[in-house]
Structure 1
C-alpha cells in the first residue's frame, strides 16, 4: 500500500509499505477514505519531536471503512464507516475511567520511554513517534486500529467524511482549549493562531458565549477565516504590539483567558519581546516560547492560560508572572472520546463550519510530500490539506 513516511528532518516520502495485519482480537483494519495533515505533523517534519525512525508512517487524523476485524470483535462489522480519535484508549485503566483519555495508562507500547521523559506514561498515539507507542499512522491506504472497541465512533448516517474527519483531533482540540477557559458568557478571550485548531477554538468560544474574541495572526487567508469563524478583533502580531492592543481592546483589564493554539513552532513577532524570544530559542531551548510568553503577559490577573498548542520539552517562561498574577494554566493532549457525542450533535445542528478551512484536497498520497511543504510554508493560501486516498 501507499503511505506517507518520515525519513528525517524535512524528508517526507510516499512509500510502498506492507499492508497492516490484525495483531490482537480488539483490532480492526480500515481502508482509509479521508486523512489530513495536522499542524503537529509539521513538528515531526521539522525534527522537533524525538524518537522518530526512518520509515515511520505518519498521520493521526483519519477515518475509513472497516475491512477486517479481530476474533470475536463485536462493536463494528465489515463495511462500517468509523471515525478514529488520534489517541488510543484501553477503556480499562483508571485514567480512561476518569475520562482522561489522552493519558491512558495501557495503550502506549513504549510507556516506560514516555515516563522517563514526562514522569508518567501518556496514551499511545497514531503516527506520532516511538515516544507515544510507535503506532503506524493514517496517512496511508490502510491502517490497523488497536483497541478499536473503545475510542472509535461509528459514522452517523447521512454525514460525509469532510463533516466528520476533524472529530479525530482538531475540532475536539479547539473545543477543549476553549472549555479550559471556563467561559460562562461575556468574557474577552485572546487566541494566538488562526490555523485549523485556532479556527475551531474561535468557533467553540463563540458557541460557549465569549463576547470578545481577539485573534492574533498575520497570514491574510487565516485572518479572513478567523473573522468568518467569529473573531471580533484581529491583531497582526508582525505590525502591532499585541500586549498593548489587548489592553486597549479590554479597556485596560486584560483578557479573561488566553489560548495558545501555536505551540513549539511559534513565529517571533513585533518589538523587543520578539527579539528576546528569538535569542532564548537559540541559546536555551529547541522550542519557541514567544506565544506562551505573550499569552502569560496579556491575560488579566487571576485569569486562565489554556495551551492546546503542542510542546515537547523544557521551555523558559516567566513563573514570576504566573505566581504574582495568580494565573491558572490548563493544557494537555485532547481527551477526544470525551467530546465526540456533544460535538457530533453540534455539527449536525450546523453550529460548526467544517469545510471552509480545507484549501487543498488530493486523491493521491503521492502528492503528500509537496503538500507537506505547501502547508508548512503557508504557500498557495494553504490552511488545511485533506486526502481521499480510496
Structure 2
C-alpha cells in the first residue's frame, strides 16, 4: 500500500509499504479516510526527535472505516466510521485507570528510550518515532490500531469526516490543556499559538466558562481563523508588547491561566530568537522555549502555566525564579484523548466545536512531500495539510 514516510532530516517520501495485519486480539485495521499533519510532526521532519528510521510511516491524527477486527474487540465492527486517539493506551494500568491515558505503562513495546530521556516511560504515539513506540502512522491507505476498545470512537452520523478528523488529536490536546490547567468560570486565559491545538485549547477554555480568551500568534490568517471560527480575541506578538497588553486586559494582574501551544521550535522576535536558534542547532539545548518564558512572565501571581506544545529535552534560560517567587503552578501533558473525545464528538454534533476550517489544503498521499513543505513553510496560508488516500 502507499504511505507517506520519513526518509531523513527534511526529507519526506512516498513509497509502497506492507499492509498491516491483526497482531493482537484487541487490534482493528482501519481504512484511512483522512489524515492530518500536526505541528509536532515538524520536530520529526527537522530531526529534533530521536529514534526515527528511514521508511517510518508518519501521521497521528486520523479517522477512517473499520475493515477488520481482532477476536477480543467488543465495541467495534467492520464498517464502523471511527476516529482514533493519537496515543496508544491499554486501559488497564494504574495511569489509565486514573484518566492519565498518555502516561500508560503499556502503550509502547520499547520504553527504554523515554526512560533514559525523562526518567520514566509514557504511552505510545502513532507515527512518532521509535522513542514513542515505533507504531506505523496514519498517512497510509490502511493502519493497525491496538487497544481498539479503549482508543477508537464511533463518529456520530451528523458529524462530517472533516470535522471528526480533528477529534483525533488537535481537539483533545486542546481540551487536555484547558482542563488540566484548571480553567474556571470567570478566568482570563491566554493561549500562545494559533495552530490547530492552540485554537482548540482556546475553544475548550471558552466552553469551560472562561470570561475572556486571548490567542497570541504572528500569522494573520491563523489569527483571523481564531476570531471567525473560535470567537476569541487575538494579539500579534510581532506588533504588540504581549505582557503589557495582557496586563492592560486584566487590571494589571495578568491572565489566570497561560497555555503554551507552540512547542520546541517556537519563534520569537529580537536577539532572543537568534540565541535560541543557534543553541538548538548546536545541540546545546534541545528545545527553543521563548513562548514558555513569556507565558511565565505574563501569568498573574498564583496563576497556572500549562505547556501543551511538544518538548523533548532541555531548555536554556528557564525562569525558574519567576515560577517559584510568583507562586505559579507549572504543568504539562501529552493529550489524554480517551478522556475527552466522547465529549468533543458530542459538542461537534451540536456545532459547539467546529474544525473544518483547519483543513486548508486537502490532497492525496502522492502529494505528501508537497503537503509537508507547505505546512512547514506556511505556504498559501496552510494551517493543516490533510491527506485523503485514493484521491
Q: Do they fold alike, i.e. is TM over 0.5?
A: yes
Pick which of 37-46 and 146-155 moved more.
146-155
Find the aligned partners of 1:252 and 1:278 in 2 and give their Cα distance.
Answer: 32
Residue of structure 1 equivalent to 2:332: 331
Q: Contact 1:56–1:136 at 8 Å: present in 2 too?
A: yes
Distance 1:257 1:301 in 2: 10
Which stretch of the first structure deviates more once superposed, 47-56 or 106-115? Answer: 106-115
In 2, the alpha carbon distance for the partners of 1:44 and 1:176 equals: 22
Shift of 1:264: 0.4
SS of residue matched to 1:214: strand
SS in 1 for 2:137: coil
2:51 is matched with: 51
What are structure 1's unaligned runs of at least 5 residues? Answer: none
DSSP 3-state at the match of 2:228: helix
3-state SS of the aligned residue for 1:255? coil
CA contact (8 A) 1:268 1:278 kept: no
Which residue of structure 2 lines up, in the alignment, with residue 214 of structure 1?
A: 214
Shift of 1:210: 1.6
Give the Å deviation of 1:143: 0.6
CA distance in 2, matches of 1:273, 1:38: 26
CA distance in 1, matches of 2:40, 2:268: 18
Match runs of 1:206-285 below 5 Å = 206-230=206-230, 232-269=232-269, 271=270, 273-274=272-273, 277-278=276-277, 281=280, 284-285=284-285
Q: 1:251 to 1:231 in 2, by over 3 A?
A: farther
Secondary structure at 1:107's aligned position in 2? Answer: coil
Provide the alpha-carbon RMSD of the alignment.
1.6
Counterpart in the other structure of 2:321: 320
> What is the deviation of 1:132?
1.0
Q: Using the alignment, how far apart are the partners of 1:189 and 1:129 within structure 2?
A: 33
Whether the aligned pair in 1 keeps the contact of 2:214 and 2:232 (CA below 8 Å) is yes
**Could you say if the C-alpha distance between residues 280 and 300 of structure 1 is closer, same or farther in structure 2, counting changes exceeding 3 Å?**
farther
SS of match in other structure, 2:176: helix
Q: Report the Cα distance in structure 2 between the residues aligned to 1:32 and 1:276, rounded to whole angstroms.
A: 42
Any idea what the Cα deviations from partners look like across 1:156-204, whole Å, max 9, x if unmatched? Answer: 2332211211111100111111123322222221111101111111211
Q: 1:110 to 1:350 in 2, by over 3 A?
A: same
TM-score normalised by length of structure 1? 0.95
2:35 is aligned with 1:35 = yes
Report Cα offsets for 1:239-274 as digits up to 9, x if no partner. Answer: 2222222222223111111110101010012x4655
Please state if 1:73 is matched with 2:73: yes
What's the TM-score, normalizing by structure 2?
0.95
1:6 maps to which residue? 6
Corresponding residue for 2:183? 183
Q: CA deviation at 1:214?
A: 1.8
**8 Å contact from structure 1 (residues 281, 289) kept in 2:** no
Mapped partners of 2:30, 2:341: distance in 1:
20
